[in-house]
Chain A
Amino acid sequence: MNIPPGWSWLGQFLLYVAAGLLVIWLLVTGYRALARFLGGRPGLVRPLAIAGGVLAVVGALLPWVTFPLNDGPYPDLATLQFFDAPFAVTGFRLFTLITGVAAIALSFVPRIPVRRVLRALGLGLAGVALVNTIFPLIDGGGFGAITAADGAFAFGGIVTLVASLVLFFVSKAGDLEPLPRWNTKVPRLVAYAALLVSFLVLLFAVARLLNSGSDSGGGSTTYSGPIFLSLLVFFAGLFGALHAIGFAGWLSAVSDDHKLFSVLVLLLAALALPFTEAGTDYWMTIAANIGVYAATAIGLNIVVGLAGLLDLGYVAFLGIGAFVAANLSGAAAAEFHIHLPFVVAALVSATVAGVFGAIVGSPTLRVRGDYLAIVTLAFGEIFKKAAQNNIGGLTGGANAIPGVPPISWFGASFDESFTIGGVQLPSGVLYYVLIIVLVSVVMLVFANLKNSRIGRAWIAIREDEDAARAMGIKTGQAKILAFLIGATLAGLAGSVFAHKTSTVAYDSFQFPESVTLLAAVILGGMGTIPGAVIGASLLLILPEKLRDFSDYRLLLFGLALVLIMRFRPQGIVPDRHRRAELAGEAEGGVPIEELNVPDSPQGATR
């Protein structure tokens, strides 16, 4: 009798797990020991910084891969051929080189928080090194890619990784400096100039990021993933450094002081995106999708982030809006053969979705907390089932409603490309503009509501429902209102979605989409205004760039939800209060205890 194969797999698996745990244990112990050793030696800052910087420069100049990968040479001369063209240091090796030189230089600059800055740069560099080591490992068929071939050994990645660790450990030598606070009382012109320049830089950074590793049409290539990720972590490192020197905090304070101007510049920057290198058909489509999701996520943010009511079937409202708009668009497959002007159709869609929102929200009058999550999930499933079965002939069922005509105003069809001042703009640019307007409006709605009597009532309900009632808040009404408004916004987004995609099918509105929306809200930061937009952008751009991992998209996504809740429940953009609080402390992971909303803050027992 031979032994079934499962046992040896299991054995191997357990072996790997054990090895993994051992490695983790070693790393943690090593980290602690090293941190303790460095703790009392502030004098090591400069030597460490220089050592790390030199290593990084060396790492940049060494080969990273020993042979061309399956899909052609790894970009940016990572392979041995680099030595044929030593001066063409581009791509991630350029980032490595820049980081290294910067580290050396910064260690000589007086009066900056070197530890903080180098910690940020070190982490960014670690990201660059890991991405560009792991990718060839996976794509190039294992360790062969970085080990011996042609008698050479490609330790660029390893050296860079060591360099990044050395830079990181600079922050452990002695105490971390306090976060510098810049004077925010600056002349108006200076403030305006700073904001303008910063947002312009941001615009170009985003455009570069979007187009990194793209082919000429803006689409993805095999190498898009690592190139994009390298740039992303490099930018993240740079941003961390800017934060460390106090610039980011200063800029956000200044933009708070000059809100109107910042908003205008940001809006203009967004509208200028089609004129940059990211102004391709491809990115306009993605951007429009992001906008639709972002607008919907902001609506959801009212329900979840402000009122604290978990909705797990939220995408249904987007779907309702889309189906209503499709039916009123004059599409041949639609049930009603009427063609309303887009604005009217959009308003009808929003209203219908809002009514459904109020209906879905009405059990909140009686159902508390978690049960509501299930009820909303149930409504989401009911919607899906109804749409799948072409209820009342309104959804087209499995056939969907195809042929929804593009929006067309004054004879200009929104899906065509056109030319302004000699610049040929990509097709879909009008949708892009429309969606920017939509998102702006939705953001404005959110911001205004949040800072109003209603918004405070929602937050009070989120924090403590009984106390809210004791303050005279009619909690039932307020909660239904949250659902109503949130759903209205989603419906509005749905109407644009219908025209943009031209085919409205039930399977765009299922449970995973609801989870995506929720994730966008959480990732960005619950209850914050830019949060949902940033969250939606990340969640839609990453899959575009990481096509190779598309099978694992949802897996990573679930993992991300778990990790965010564990380590950064306030999301990428913490709420205003959180930020105020963080300004004093060291940045980084906030212990979860701080975010508690305990029943009795001080645990009074009597």
Chain B
Amino acid sequence: MATLLQQLTSGLVLGALIALIALGYTMVYGIIQLINFAHGEVFMVSVFGALATYKWFIPQSWQGTWQIALPCMLVGAVLVAVVLAVLMERFAYRPLRNAPRLAPLITALGVSVMLKEFVRNFFPGATAAVSVPRAFVDKAITFAVPGGTVVIQSTGILLVVVSIIGAVLLQTYITRSRMGRAMRATAQDPDTARLMGVDPNRTIVLTFVIGGALAGLAAVLYGIHINTVDTEAGFLNGIFAFTAAVLGGVGSIKGAVIGGFTIGVIKTMAGQYFPGGTEYDLVWIFVLLIVVLVFRPQGLFGEPERVRA
């Protein structure tokens, strides 16, 4: 029982992280139908961005004070992620807006390889895992449950809270604000949106910015929660996040969040209880993905694709 609950909590924390990244995927896919493969790597790079901010951009005397260090890392990470996302959109994806579908997808792949290799080559020490300092109060809360205890890190709670609040705010923004409406309009039909005075380029950039900012947020929380990062962090988390987005139905914010939590929980549960253990946890996630896609190609909360004719 304790193990089950412990795995469930860890799963929820992981799921919160995945959900934050998944939001970026889902928004970009929703608006330009592009699997932005590089989004996972943007997340990874901004973990290093947060780390760099901590190591080289804030004076040593501040590093111990989390009230200062944490916001600084956040700014650094978000800045890195947003700049990357915007550059990517402007120089890699925008020129291909009308190209055959494979072209931007392959470009995204290229960008993601580049980002990863860039960090591996140029961030000192990044050829192996780098440790991220605990810049946050290092507290854990312990609950007594039948048959043992369940431990939850304060950073874990933060992750869950932040991701839920983030998703709610995002949902509100998209449904209520003017820019949000413009986004939805562009997603449905860019040409018509243009006729209605919406600048699709601006809207798309904004989407990338929001996605990037969320990835930056996720990056800092990931860094302080896991306390270590390597260049592989982007690939797998990115894939999980994309899977979450697909599972929930690409384009749907609610879907991304629920998908994220589902994947997080399945990963920890499968690692504990399924044959093969943690070695095969990812296999179960993919099996789930494939099953969902086969039986409900639009995902849990997505809208079915229209046949055009």
- Interfacial residues, chain A to chain B (CB-CB below 8 A): 1-7, 9-10, 304, 308, 310, 312, 363, 365-371, 373-375, 377-379, 381-382, 385-386, 388-389, 466, 511-512, 515, 518, 522, 526, 551-552, 554-555, 557-562, 565-566, 569, 592-593, 595-599
Contact = CB atoms under 8 A, between A and B. Distances in A.
B106 A561 contact: yes
B103 A565 contact: yes
A592 B98 contact: yes
A562 B114 CA distance: 9
Interface in B101-119: 101-107, 109-118
A554 B239 contact: no
Interface of B: 29, 33-35, 52-53, 55-61, 92, 95-96, 98-107, 109-118, 121, 235, 239, 242-243, 246, 276, 279-280, 282-283, 286, 289-290, 293-295, 297, 305, 307-309
Contacts of B116: 554
Contact of B282 (A310, A373, A381): A381
B113 A561 contact: yes
25 contacts: A6-B52, A6-B56, A304-B102, A366-B295, A366-B297, A369-B101, A374-B35, A374-B289, A378-B243, A381-B286, A385-B283, A389-B276, A512-B113, A518-B106, A555-B114, A557-B110, A558-B117, A561-B107, A562-B107, A562-B110, A562-B114, A592-B99, A593-B98, A596-B100, A597-B100
Nearest to B307: A466
Contacts of A366: 293-295, 297
Contacts, number: 156
Contact of A565 (B58, B110, B286, B305): B110
Contacts of A379: 286
A565 B33 contact: no
B263 to A, nearest CB: 12
A310 B102 contact: yes
Contact of B305 (A363, A368, A518): A368
B239 A566 contact: no
Contacts of A373: 35, 105
A598 B190 CA distance: 14
Contact of A5 (B56, B110, B121, B235): B56
A304 B102 CA distance: 9
Given A374-B246, A375-B293, A555 B118 contact: yes
Contacts of A369: 101
B114 A377 contact: no
Interface centre among B56, B110, B112, B286 (most CB of A within 10 A): B110
A557 B305 CA distance: 34
Nearest to A9: B56
A138 B290 CA distance: 49
A371 B109 CA distance: 14
Contacts of A385: 279-280, 282-283
A10 B112 CA distance: 23
Given A551-B121, A596-B98, A370 B293 contact: no
A308 B117 contact: no
B242 A367 contact: no
Interface centre among A3, A370, A515, A599 (most CB of B within 10 A): A370
Contacts of A558: 109-115, 117
Nearest to B289: A378
B242 to A, nearest CB: 6
Given A374-B35, A555-B121, A565-B110, A389 B297 contact: no
Contacts of A2: 59
Q: When A and B form their complex, which 10 residue pairs have the shortest distance between CB atoms, in order from nearest? A: A561-B110, A6-B56, A558-B113, A558-B114, A378-B286, A555-B117, A6-B57, A562-B110, A554-B117, A558-B110
Given A9-B56, A373-B105, A555-B117, A560 B110 contact: yes
Contact of B290 (A6, A363, A518, A565): A363
A388 B61 CA distance: 46
A368 B295 CA distance: 13
Contact of B99 (A6, A308, A368, A565): A565
Contacts of B34: 370
B289 A565 contact: no
A562 B111 CA distance: 7
Contacts of A7: 56-57
Contacts of B290: 363, 375, 378
A558 B280 CA distance: 29
A418 B32 CA distance: 59
Contacts of A5: 56
Given A310-B105, A382-B286, A558-B111, A511 B235 contact: yes
A293 B44 CA distance: 30
Contact of B113 (A1, A557, A566, A597): A557
A1 B60 CA distance: 9
A597 to B, nearest CB: 5
Nearest to B104: A565
A375 B297 CA distance: 12
A466 B239 CA distance: 29
B23 to A, nearest CB: 17
Contact of A6 (B55, B106, B286): B55
A4 B59 contact: yes
Contacts of B305: 368
Given A373-B35, A382-B286, A554-B117, A4 B57 contact: yes
Nearest to B53: A6
B121 A552 contact: yes
Contact of B283 (A4, A375, A382, A561): A382
Nearest to A305: B102
A592 B280 contact: no
B109 A561 contact: yes
Contact of A559 (B57, B114, B283): B114
Contacts of B308: 466, 599
Nearest to A526: B102
A10 B57 CA distance: 9
Given A2-B59, A551-B121, A555-B121, A363 B294 contact: yes
A515 B104 CA distance: 15
Contacts of A370: 29, 33-35, 101, 105
Interface centre among B52, B239, B293, B295 (most CB of A within 10 A): B293
Nearest to B95: A566
A420 B56 CA distance: 65
Contacts of B55: 6
Nearest to A382: B283
A399 B279 CA distance: 17
B61 to A, nearest CB: 6
A515 B37 CA distance: 13
Nearest to A383: B283
B309 A466 contact: yes
Given A368-B305, A371-B293, A599-B308, 14 more contacts: A6-B56, A10-B57, A366-B294, A366-B297, A379-B286, A381-B283, A558-B109, A558-B111, A558-B113, A560-B110, A561-B109, A561-B110, A562-B110, A596-B100
